[in-house]
Structure 1
Amino acid sequence: MRLMQKYRMRTPSTGREVIIAVDPEKVYIDRDTGEVLEPVAQLLPLAPTASELPWAIENLRFCDHCDQLAQKDLVECPWCGHRMATLID
């Protein structure tokens, strides 16, 4: 279970981005430039969540019961609570 919210963080001078779970009381520094990273966006699903996958089309599937989108790594649908079918890769 992920308790910390993941953010997309950017280095202002280079535009380099990283995705990290952020503690709001800490300041994050780019290891190459030494600049403070700026938050660009929160990643969905919002914490707390059972999924480690961000909501991107390649990480989602439809629930067999309610036809809502859910992360591929979840066993139960977060919307209806039913167990989803096993994925075969």
Structure 2
Amino acid sequence: MAVRQRYRFRAPSTGREVIIEAEPGHTYRDSDSGEPLEVVAKLTPLAPSPSNLPWAIENLRHCPWCDQMAQRDLNDCPTCGRRMGPITTA
């Protein structure tokens, strides 16, 4: 389970982005240029969450019981709590 919140950071000069489980008060630097990274966005799901996948359409599926969206890596639906079946690949 992800305990710390994940953020998307960007290097201002290069525009390169990285996703980091960040802690408040720490300064994160770009590994190539050494410049401080700027926070661009906070990723959902918010911490703490049983899923480690960001909410994007390719990482979600529908619960067969309540028809709500859930992350692909979860076994139980976060909305209704019922067990979801295995993921089938087409």
Common fold: TM-score over 0.5: yes
Once the two structures are superposed, the pairs formed by residues 49-64 of structure 1 within 5 Å of their partners are: 49-64=49-64
Residues 17-37 of structure 1 show CA distances to partners (whole Å, capped at 9, x for unaligned) of 001110112110101111100
Residues 26-82 of structure 1 show CA distances to partners (whole Å, capped at 9, x for unaligned) of 110101111100000011100000101000100000001111100000000001111
Look up the SS of the partner of 1:41 in the other structure.
strand
**CA RMSD, 1 decimal:** 0.7
Q: Identity of counterpart residues, as a percentage?
A: 60
- Give the gaps of 5 or more residues in structure 2: none
- Give the gaps of 5 or more residues in structure 1: none
Say how many residue pairs are matched.
89
Give the Cα separation in 1 of the matches to 2:67 and 2:36: 42
Residue 85 of structure 2 aligns with an amino acid whose one-letter code is A
Give the Cα separation in 1 of the matches to 2:55 and 2:21: 15
- Give the ranges of 4+ consecutive aligned residues of structure 1 lying more than 4 Å apart after TM superposition: none
Tell me by how many angstroms 1:88 deviates.
Answer: 2.2
**TM-score under structure 2 length normalisation:** 0.95
**TM-score under structure 1 length normalisation:** 0.96
